[in-house]
């Protein structure tokens, strides 16, 4: 899942993460390539990106069950978007 997020445009990912809790966004951004995460954070409001960055810096090890839940949510969100896009085409 994390590799696939590298293929999601920075604008789409930034828009999605703005509606998430800062801690959740921090976990997601910490799991993708740093260069992609940096581009995403540049597109977010300064206050949000600062909060997420601070949480990333202070983050401890994330439990596997929490990562699984986040992965499932991301898979469902982005797969449903792909289905909607395909239907519009």
DSSP string computed for 51-71? HHHHHHHH--PPPHHHHHHHH
Query: What are the tens digits of pLDDT across the range 1-53?
Result: 788 888 888 999 999 999 999 999 999 999 999 999 999 999 999 999 999 99
pTM of the full predicted structure?
0.82
Half-sphere exposure of 37 (CA within 13 A, CB side): 16
Contact 43, 10 (CB under 8 A): yes
Longest dimension (CA), the chain: 43
The conformation of residue 32, written as its DSSP 8-state character, comes to S
């Amino acid at each position: 899942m994390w590799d696939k997020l590298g293929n999601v445009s920075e604008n789409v990912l930034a828009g999605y993460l703005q509606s998430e809790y800062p801690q959740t966004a921090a976990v997601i951004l910490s799991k993708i390539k740093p260069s992609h995460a940096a581009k995403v954070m540049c597109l977010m409001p300064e206050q949000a990106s600062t909060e997420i960055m601070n949480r990333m810096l202070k983050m401890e090890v994330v439990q596997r069950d929490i990562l699984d839940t986040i992965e499932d949510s991301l898979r469902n969100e982005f797969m449903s978007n792909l289905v909607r896009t395909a239907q519009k085409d």
